[in-house]
A = this chain, B = another copy of it.
């Protein structure tokens, strides 16, 4: 079995992402400091995010709306309009942040491109993901760009069909066990988990350590070697 299709997550796999959400969240904690402890605010924000997920989906605009909602729930009428303005501004900064590639990404993509067609598979806000890809300068390296509202086994099955590759000839690499690794394995593909420091708890899940098509890597730079072992 040879890998022909190499699917890669974008946020926190190719470039930093969670650190920008973390900056926005820190701004919220600071704004709400007069009303609530950091822990209380974090907990409320996460509850509001999970509650809104089916309606809002992933991404920076959803996060901004949930920050405003969590702030109102926590502080009620004590919250000022100026403070809501500051939350909106933190959301705008999150959408406009510069794109910083993770270490060695360009060399890794060169090595991967020698081994198969590269496809970017990312979820979140359509416009924001396109803007980040454009800002990254990596757009030309991908055979296909797939921006999806959610990553599940169906998403991956449809994707392998579209690119005309049996699942056993496809591999997915990303930093989310729940969105990148598990659904790709379920769809019959290989999957590499490249964890990063600031994982959103909603994305955490048990590693399928014993699965023959699964491997945990220290960095994406280890992916070309693993693909060579699969060959």
Contact = CB atoms under 8 A, between A and B. Distances in A.
Interface of A: 55-57, 61-62, 64-65, 68-69, 72, 75-82, 84-85, 88, 91-92, 95-96, 125-128, 130, 147-150
Given A61-B62, A68-B88, A81-B84, 13 more contacts: A55-B96, A57-B125, A57-B127, A65-B65, A65-B88, A72-B81, A72-B85, A72-B88, A77-B81, A77-B82, A126-B148, A126-B149, A130-B149
Contacts of A56: 61, 95, 127
Contacts of A72: 81, 84-85, 88
Given A65-B65, A76-B81, A55 B92 contact: yes
**Chain A's interface: helix, strand, loop or mixed, by majority?**
helix
A68 B150 CA distance: 27
Contacts of A85: 72
Contacts of A92: 55
